[in-house]
A and B are shown apart, each in its own frame.
Chain A
Amino acid sequence: MNNRLTCTNADQRGMPPDPAENFQFTGQRFFRIDNGRITGQLRDVAYQATTTDFWGSMAAVGGPQTYVLGGAFNCGKAQPGQVAAVSHGCPSALFKGVNILNTTQEAGR
């Protein structure tokens, strides 16, 4: 497959509680890759999958030089609610056959 997307900084602030549930992340920055070269930035991109299917589609994992520590200050859980800072480090990874949405079309425009 020649058409690939690279996403830096997906933004959804957390995941649904059920591991088998559907998730959607909006990409803050998406780029198109054609034949090994980044050929442009894309707008209005989100991706959607079921968690287990998504991780099953992982085809490659980047080396240590791609590792980035991300996190949030406001991971909230429980009743009554509790909030804690969390961190979560990841290398870059390649996923195949991911369902990509156009958020403008999703908004009916």
Chain B
Amino acid sequence: MSARSNKPHEIVERALELSTADGCVVIADEQSTANLRWAGNALTTNGVTRGRTLTVVATVDGKEGTASGVVSRSAVTVDELEPLVRAAEAAARGAGPAEDAQPLVTGVSPSPDFTDAPAETTSAVFADFAPALGEAFARARAGGRELYGFANHELVSSYVGTSTGVRLRHDQPNGTLELNAKSPDRTRSAWAGRSTRDFKDVDPAALDAELAVRLGWAQRRIPLPAGRYETLLPPTAVADLLIYQMWSASGRDAVEGRTVFSKPGGGTRVGDRLTELPLTLRSDPNEPGLEAAPFVLAHSSGGDQSVFDNGLPLAATDWVREGELRHLTTTRHSAGLTGLPVAPAIDNLILTGGEDRSLDEMVANTGRGLLLTCLWYIREVDPATLLLTGLTRDGVYLVENGEVTGEVNNFRFNESPVDLLGRATEAGRTEKTLPREWSDWFTRAAMPALRVPDFNMSSVSQGV
């Protein structure tokens, strides 16, 4: 097998040629990753991976409608294409009409780099970061701290071709850094995380210094009971809550009365004011530093995405504009079904409209309250209110008269992000953040800290 015959765009073209169905969509994802892992102030493992996934969507027109079949396989070469295409066609013929059937997308200008080789990451992405991390280990050791963590960089080049002439390509870099500092007896723990495209904007020394301050705060322990507390949610926590809200913002589910965005008696809450603060929650494929695919990349249908929409251009979308709910997510099919505008999900999320205050400044303006580090293990309790439960982790701090006075025990919370937007009394400066809980699935977020006067800490948690 020559290297030439495994070029992703040629695989896409060949699969489309092999198609005998009425319509065909082929997505080739070329993935490379590099990672570093460390524990106790020393690197423990590093790794690189390479992968290819080919997804074929066959559509078959029939008397009762158009059916679709989707088959994805990894490590596919040119010789293995025909069985894959036939499997997708067989799946379509056996499926019956697809509810979300739409004409495949047409009229989209091809990506100029569609025939170029895929982008690839290597361990070289850590060329500056790894030595700086080594220096942070030395400082941590000298300061009586143990650093643990994981850094991962991924590059996925996705090539999309359709029988209707779409030829698009998107390169998605995706870097995450998670850093824990612990006291040698492991009773104190602090966390910091970063989302990055290339690890050039990540400074281990600064993160270690931040964690050293937090471990210092934890030297004084202040047990507190469950209850409602004024709470400062840092950007990572706000991101985790609002990403879940985004995932729960299906227009169709709302119209069908199944979500927090359903209007009692019918319809949706689009147009409702969610908060008196002038907050705007939006996604934009061209957001600087958070760039995401500017067209629909749907490997399967379901929820609020449709394989028929592959290649559909994505535009900046305000989900909430200055406090008012403006858009719910739709496909072309669910937009037609609900009368809502077409607004597919976009792979980033930005909340703006707060005041130009850092989290430190918000702490300085707090009489008595809790400062969280992050949230963990967030799960849904009730879709009708979008009540979520989860835990605090790696540091809950008590703020008194503008200063952190010690570390509090962890809590389990029960809160709805929609309610939190409504009750928040202050939002700070928007900054890029790593959503800790969802970082396996969603990393591109910019959020402010939020001040909530009565955050529901439902019970005490003994975890670290």
Contacts and interface: CB of A to CB of B under 8 A. Distances in A.
Contacts of B414: 24, 101, 103, 106-107
Contacts of A109: 385
Nearest to A49: B459
A44 B37 CA distance: 42
Interface string A1-23: 00000000000111010101110
B203 interface: no
A16 B152 contact: no
A48 to B, nearest CB: 6
Contacts of A22: 391, 410, 412, 459-463
A16 B391 contact: yes
B152 A106 contact: no
Interface of B: 33, 35, 37, 49, 150, 152, 178, 376-377, 379-382, 385, 387, 389, 391, 410, 412, 414, 416, 419, 440, 454, 456, 458-464
16 contacts: A16-B376, A16-B377, A16-B391, A16-B463, A18-B464, A21-B463, A22-B463, A24-B414, A48-B458, A79-B35, A80-B33, A101-B414, A101-B458, A103-B381, A103-B414, A107-B385
A21 B390 CA distance: 11
B462 A106 contact: no
Contacts of B33: 80
Main secondary structure of the interface of B (DSSP, over half): strand
Name which of B414, B419, B440, B456 has the most chain A CB atoms within 10 A of its CB. B414
A13 B379 contact: yes
A40 interface: no
Contacts of B464: 18
A89 interface: no
Given A21-B463, A22-B460, A48-B458, A103 B412 contact: no
B388 to A, nearest CB: 10
Given A22-B412, A80-B152, A106 B456 contact: yes
A106 B381 CA distance: 10
A44 B382 CA distance: 8
A107 B178 CA distance: 31
A107 B459 contact: no
Given A101-B458, A103-B414, 5 more contacts: A12-B379, A21-B461, A24-B414, A50-B462, A103-B381
A99 interface: yes
B387 A103 contact: yes
Contacts of A21: 391, 461-463
Given A12-B379, A44-B382, A107-B419, A79 B150 contact: yes
Contacts of B150: 79
Interface of A: 12-14, 16, 18, 20-22, 24, 26, 44, 46, 48, 50, 76, 79-81, 99, 101, 103-104, 106-109
A44 to B, nearest CB: 7
A107 B463 contact: no
B456 to A, nearest CB: 7
B412 A24 contact: yes
Contact of B462 (A13, A20, A46, A99): A20
Nearest to B423: A108
B463 A106 contact: no
Given A103-B387, A106-B381, A107-B416, A79 B463 contact: no
Contacts of A26: 380-382
Given A18-B464, A76-B440, A79-B150, A24 B389 contact: yes
B419 A108 contact: yes
Nearest to A79: B150
Contacts of A81: 440
A103 B458 contact: no
A10 to B, nearest CB: 12
B387 A106 contact: yes
Given A48-B458, A106-B458, A107-B414, A79 B37 contact: yes
Contacts of A16: 376-377, 391, 463
Contacts of B381: 24, 26, 46, 103, 106-107
A29 to B, nearest CB: 15
Contacts of B37: 79
Contacts of B379: 12-14
Contacts of A76: 440
